[in-house]
């Protein structure tokens, strides 16, 4: 009885391992860039933030900046074949950004005028497929005092 149960447990854990093995890399990948990035104000008075977009993510996808302090945002496309863009519309904070990401960094300067949590995303979509935003190309900028 004990022996029989032992074998069953072994088989079960092997089965679970086989079943979940393909999920492991995606779990690890999804962890990367998930931790919020809090920008520090540099000696130049700017909050330096770098965001890379790819298929289908933004890294980091959570950014924290200070209100009423200038931000230098460097944007880059990590995917050489798929076009992506960065859209951040926050009129209440004085922001209306829509740029196409390139392999070479695009540098933007702006100041968030109001605290809050603002969403940025990629507006691309290929034919009838799910939009890049729905595939995960979405993130937030939290503006704090
Ligand atoms: Cu995209």
pLDDT in tens, 55-73: 999 999 999 999 999 999 9
CATH class of 32-144: mainly beta
Helix (H, G, I), strand (E, B) or coil at 145: coil
Q: Which residues surround ligand 1, an ion (CB under 5 A)?
A: 84, 122, 124, 132, 137
- Rounded to whole angstroms, how far apart are CA atoms 19 and 23? 8
CA–CA gap between residue 46 and residue 43 (Å, rounded): 7
Query: What is the dihedral sign for C-alpha 92, 97, 81, 50?
Result: negative
For residue 86, how far is its CA from the centre of ligand 1 (angstroms)? 8
Q: Of 21, 65, 93, 81, whose CA–CA distance to 73 is shortest?
A: 65
> Which DSSP helix (H) or strand (E) runs through 86?
strand 85-90
pLDDT digits (tens, 9 = 90+) for 72-110: 999 999 998 999 999 999 999 999 999 999 999 999 999
Mean pLDDT of the 6-21 span: 55
For 7, the enclosing helix (H) or strand (E) is helix 2-20
Q: What is the CA(145)–ligand 1 centre distance, in A? A: 31
Instruction: For 97-127, give one letter per residue: b (16+ CB within 10 A) or e.
Output: eeeebeeeeeebebbbeeeeebebbbebeee
- Alpha carbon of 91 to ligand 1 centroid (Å): 22
Domain spans in the chain, listed from the N-terminal domain onward: 1-31, 32-144
In what helix (H) or strand (E) does residue 13 lie, and over which residues does it extend?
helix 2-20
Q: How far is the CA of 47 from the centre of ligand 1 (A)?
A: 25
26-51 pLDDT, tens digit each? 454 555 667 899 998 999 999 999 99
Tell me: pLDDT of 19 over 70.
no
Residues contacting residue 77 through CB under 8 Å, at least 6 positions apart: 52, 53, 54, 83, 84, 101, 102, 103
Ligand 1 geometric centre to CA of 16 (Å): 34
User: What is the structure's pLDDT at 16?
Assistant: 47
């Amino acid at each position: 009885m004990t022996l029989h149960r032992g074998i069953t447990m072994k088989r079960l854990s092997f089965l679970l391992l086989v079943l979940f093995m393909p999920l492991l890399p995606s779990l690890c990948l999804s962890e990367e860039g998930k931790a919020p990035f809090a920008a520090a104000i540099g000696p130049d008075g700017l909050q330096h933030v770098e965001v890379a977009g790819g298929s289908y993510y933004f890294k980091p996808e959570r950014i924290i900046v200070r209100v009423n302090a200038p931000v230098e945002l460097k944007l880059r496309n990590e995917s050489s074949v798929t076009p992506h863009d960065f859209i951040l519309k926050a009129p209440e904070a004085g922001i209306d950004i829509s740029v196409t990401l390139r392999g070479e960094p695009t540098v933007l300067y702006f100041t968030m005028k109001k605290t809050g949590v603002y969403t940025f995303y990629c507006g691309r979509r290929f034919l009838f497929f799910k939009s890049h935003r729905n595939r995960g190309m979405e993130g937030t900028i939290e503006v704090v005092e």
